[in-house]
Chains A and B, each alone.
Chain A
Amino acid sequence: MNATVARLTVRGLLGRRRALLLLVLPLVLVGMAAVVRVVAGADDGTAVGLVGGFGLGTIVPLVALLAGTGSIGPEIDDGSIVYLLSKPISRFTILVSKLATAVVVALALGALPLAAAMLVLADSPGALVVPYLLGAAAACTAYAALFLCLAVVTRNAVIVGLLYAIVWETTVAGFVPGAQNLSVRQWSLGLTEALLGADADRFGVTAAVAASTGGALLVALTVAATYHGARRLQTLPLTSAE
């Protein structure tokens, strides 16, 4: 962990227009929750539907995608990564610093707003907010590690990440139940379901995988993506842009 690398990453992430895009997404989620609250009143079913579906399914992956790829992608793209790589800091430290930054940004702009939306909309927030906050936090961490690794591996990280988050997790998993076993969203939903305990059925929260499996897979994915990303950063080919 290197504080300077982290500071520069934060500046790169939030210093430009990307910050606007990153801020709009959580604002949309919380704004929607507020509108629904005013129009229809607090309701647990609506809260689980909106926050669990739209929040966990769209906003969290998008925020984590922007944070994960944005923390290293543009630097690799414009070649300025060489100035960072030529410093006497291990590549592993660089990657972990960037990952930590991406995770913190994703937590602040993905998981926290999700919990806030739940707080606004749910009728019994006491039971729902913490499980969803922890589930979303786990999802944010795993997504950020996955998308950061993707950004090191491929220049088309954003498109590949979107294909995974939107097409695979939402569309394909909707038609092919087996695809849900390979979905960060379902793994983190497994955690949420377990944390809800006996209430899960009442709120209509069902995950495709058990909490133990989901949690283990989330940890495995995060570690594997971090390790692989660091390995690839050690042998990064510096080619010119298209």
Chain B
Amino acid sequence: MSTSPDGRTASAPPGGGVIHDIGYRHYEGARLGRAAIVRALYVDSLRGAFGLGRSAKSKVMPFLLLAAIAFPALVVAIVVNVTGQSEFPFELTSYAFLLYIPLSLYVAGQAPASVSRDLRFRVVSLYFSRPLLRQDYVAAKYAALSTAVLGLLALPLVLLGAGGLLAGFPASDTLAQLGQGLVGAAVTAPVMAGTGLLLASVTPRRGLGVAAVIAFFVVVTGVQNALQGLAVTQGRDDLATWTTLAAPISTVDTMIAWLFGTEPTASVVLPDGAQGLAWVAAAAALVVVPYLLLLVRYRTVSVS
């Protein structure tokens, strides 16, 4: 503990917590450090991604989109039970791809809410005046939105899995499919969240972030579709598969299908043997590169 010339004390305990003694009353309680701040920021951002702890209006969109994403799964789960089918009408690994539009709308709504407002209202300067490092802020926001998207995708998958088990599908097969779907969701979530956060962090103005994120997701998919259509009309199904690398969601979809040998949704045919490693590398890059670019972005963010 050090004493400054005017007799006030500024204490910096081992944990890295900072409580400034400005002469009103002393604090004797536990001093939580940097890790606790990161945890708190993570939890708060995760709650915020569903509008919890924010205004009632902010809750409408996330829960509407959660319903839009979970509802088809619930319907399918009920239908397979009522009609007594013996398998799902689609692969569980393709669920994220089929519900790409509401998924990207969710990310487009929540990524700017998570990071743009902090930048616009210059709240980041308050965060960075605490023991929280800039990379901690990025890590907490990235993890929070990834977890939110994962939850968004996991709920319908679990509903489908439960529906399948209730309908008497082979248990091991259904659980394997569910596991594959969850692995797919675990890759899709950081890919979507990272891209969304990166675009939102460079567009602090209200509304612009939303537009930038959704425009990116819609346009890259449109480009990918057009390129794929072109390759198919040329009779080059192998080339059509390569075009799935043009958009994030189709990259992940193809990678998961190649990994588990399931039916791909985005492409016509699976990558040939070891070529699939290209999709694994691309998906890994889609997870890592936005994170690194976010670190770069926040290294130079102005706090004045």
Docked complex: A154-183 residues within 8 A CB-CB of B: 155-159, 162-163, 166-167, 170-171
Contact present for B211 and A58 (CB under 8 Å): no
Selecting from B32-40, B213-221, B252-260, the interface stretch reads B213-221
Complex formed: what's the CA distance from A75 to B205 in Å? Answer: 11
**How many A residues, CB 8 Å from partner?**
38
Indicate whether A198 reaches chain B with its CB closer than 8 angstroms: no
User: A241 and B206: CB pair below 8 A?
Assistant: yes
CA gap between A186 and B57 in the complex, in Å: 32
Indicate which residue in A40, A58, A163, A166 contacts B230 across the interface (CB closer than 8 Å).
A40
Residue A11 CB within 8 A of the other chain: no
Stretch of A65-73, A129-137, A211-219, A230-238 at the chain-chain interface: A65-73
Q: A159-B109, A167-B101, A171-B101 are contacts. A21–B208 as well, Cβ < 8 Å? A: yes
Q: State A157–B212 Cα separation when bound (angstroms).
A: 14
A interface majority secondary structure = helix
Interface of B is mostly: helix
List residues of chain B with CB within 8 A of the CB of A59: 219
CB-CB < 8 A to B227: which residues of A? 32, 35
Assuming the contacts A28-B223, A171-B101, asked whether A158 and B211 have C-beta atoms less than 8 A apart, the reply is yes
Contact indicator A162/B105 (Cβ below 8 Å)? yes
Contact for B212 among A21, A54, A58, A74, CB less than 8 A: A21
Tell me which residues from 195 to 254 in chain B have a Cβ below 8 Å from any Cβ of chain A. 202-203, 205-208, 210-212, 214-215, 218-219, 222-223, 225-227, 229-230, 233-234
CA gap between A32 and B214 in the complex, in Å:
19
Q: Is B55 an interface residue (CB 8 A)?
A: yes
Q: Does A225 contact B (CB under 8 A)?
A: no
Q: List 18 A-B contacts (CB under 8 A).
A: A16-B205, A32-B223, A39-B230, A46-B233, A54-B225, A58-B219, A59-B219, A62-B211, A66-B211, A70-B208, A74-B208, A156-B61, A158-B210, A159-B108, A162-B105, A166-B218, A167-B101, A242-B58
